[in-house]
Amino acid sequence: MRFRIYINKTGKESFLPINYQYELSAAIYKTIDRADSEFSKFLHEEGYLAYGKKFRLFTFSRIFFEQFKVIKDAGRIHHQGNAAFFEISFLVDKAAEEFIKGLFLDQEFVLGDKISRAFYQVSSIEAVQPPLFKENMRYRCLSPVFLRRKRSGGGEDYLHPENSDYGILLMQNLLSKSKAYELANQWDESPIGNPIPDFEFTPIGRVFKNGVKIKQLTEKETQLIGYSFEFELKAPVELHEIGYHAGFGHLGSQGFGCVGVKS
């Protein structure tokens, strides 16, 4: 299920950090926790398990501000208007639609750090109709796609979409999410299976590098590198559905890998 969440600024403060993804993720967890602490704990601490890894099967887009100005030198966004919206997707059954709407409606949250912050309230929420999924789809990033690969000697690489292994790792990630969702629902068989199916991944046009800081201005601050771009993907329909609802690549729950369909 995907939702578009409309928010309004409620205070006089109008500056927030460019790197607000972590704070928005925390606000989402807090919102869920107010209504269903067990589900929030499951998402945050446990997640869906597959192959010894945890998957939190949701993602969200960047915020689309009504009027804004980016102040790069200060690392701030000046939200000059009042309205904004973002999209959030959960890999859940449609039966959960009203429950999720109820979680977010009228909720208040703050986005900021030690330097500045802005206050918001959810004004409305609407379900977004899913596209007609086909084997061949074209997507545009609503938030950067983040894909990493561990090095044998330690550390990890953040892959560029033109890396020769990018498509394979993207498919492996989708298959792992599929397996995790399957196990959580106690299905007897995976709808796709474990081997990597035939696929074609093609970046289209310009690729934009996005450096994102997580836990900014704390001892645990981390710099991640994602990429925003358009791409075509030929793959089983089920994998398209998983990528659209749970995010493409890693760290969907931190605001990476949310896409829209390019018509």
User: Among all residues, which ones are annotated catalytic?
Assistant: 29, 44
Question: Which positions ≥6 away from 41 have C-beta within 8 Å?
Answer: 33
- Is residue 71 within 8 Å of 77, Cβ to Cβ? yes
Q: Say whether 117 sits in a helix, a strand or coil.
A: strand
Separation between Cα atoms, residue 162 and residue 203, nearest integer Å: 7
Q: Which CA distances in Å does 90 have to 1, 9, 57?
A: 5, 25, 6
Q: How is 9-20 classified by DSSP, letter by letter?
A: E-SS--EEES--
Cα 20 from chain centroid?
Answer: 13
Q: Token pair of 124, please?
A: 């409305």
Q: Token pair of 17, please?
A: 């950090």
- Is residue 68 within 8 Å of 15, Cβ to Cβ? no
